[in-house]
Amino acid sequence: MVRALSLSLPTERVMAHGLRHLRFTCTRCGHCCRRFRVPLTGADLRRLVQGSGLRPAELVEWLSPDQVDMTGEPETFVRFPEGRRVMMLAWRETGCRFESHDTCAVHPYRPSSCRMYPYDVQLGRRGGIRRLKLLDVSRCEHTWTEPEPRHLVAFAAARHQAELRAYVVEVTRHNRRQEHRRRLGKPQLSRHDFFVQLGVASSAP
């Protein structure tokens, strides 16, 4: 089981950089949904299973290291008999499987990476925003309006990072089990076994 996250609103007052980017306003053009692949955490998958009613195997696409750039997150690669794979949201030729006419069909349950787009947030020691950058929005039909409350962005970033850390713990646990089984000459764990460990599937396939 994955331990529940406990977060509080940040209270840190620090010299923050890049807060002008909080004026970014999404116009729901859907460009990001059709352009960017979305990595998933265990928390993301649990929300999607709950919100969509689909099975984990229908929500996930497993990509190999040569299919996706996960620079900075090598610890999220999961070991399977066929090699290392990273858990990504299922994709179709036109983009995310849940995007339709510039609308997200699972918006309340969307992955935390989607919730954070296009912000790249560095938090301070007490949870406040230390540095804020924008990811590539050159082809995004955004606009600039009143700034989004910084404490809400900081809270979302803290939640995203906490969920990622919890997922890394789960992946590390799985990979260690795989190595142990390899040394004992036992069959390797399957993708379904990993879903069971994340709490999104029953032990019976």
Beta bridge partners of 129: 123
User: What pLDDT, on a 0 to 100 scale, did the predictor assign at position 72?
Assistant: 66
Mean pLDDT of the chain: 89
Listed residue (138, 58, 69) closest to 98, CA to CA: 58
Listed residue (200, 155, 162) closest to 5, CA to CA: 162
Confidence band of 38 (pLDDT split at 50, 70, 90): very high
**Both tokens of residue 67?**
């299919």
pTM of the complete model: 0.87
Confidence band of 138 (pLDDT split at 50, 70, 90): confident
Confidence band of 154 (pLDDT split at 50, 70, 90): very high
What are the C-alpha distances in Å from 90 to residues 6, 33, 93, 121, 181? Answer: 29, 12, 10, 26, 29
Average pLDDT over residues 167-182: 97
Listed residue (77, 80, 100) closest to 88, CA to CA: 77
Residue 91 has pLDDT above 70, yes or no: yes
Residue 39 has pLDDT above 60, yes or no: yes
**For the chain, domain boundaries:** 19-198
Q: Alpha-carbon distance 196 to 204, whole Å?
A: 9
Q: φ and ψ at 99, to 5 degrees?
A: -90, 130
**Both tokens of residue 199?**
């709490």
Q: Which residues contact 40 (CB under 8 A, 6 or more apart)?
A: 48, 59, 60, 87, 88, 89, 111
User: What pLDDT, on a 0 to 100 scale, did the predictor assign at position 9?
Assistant: 45
**Both tokens of residue 136?**
């590539």
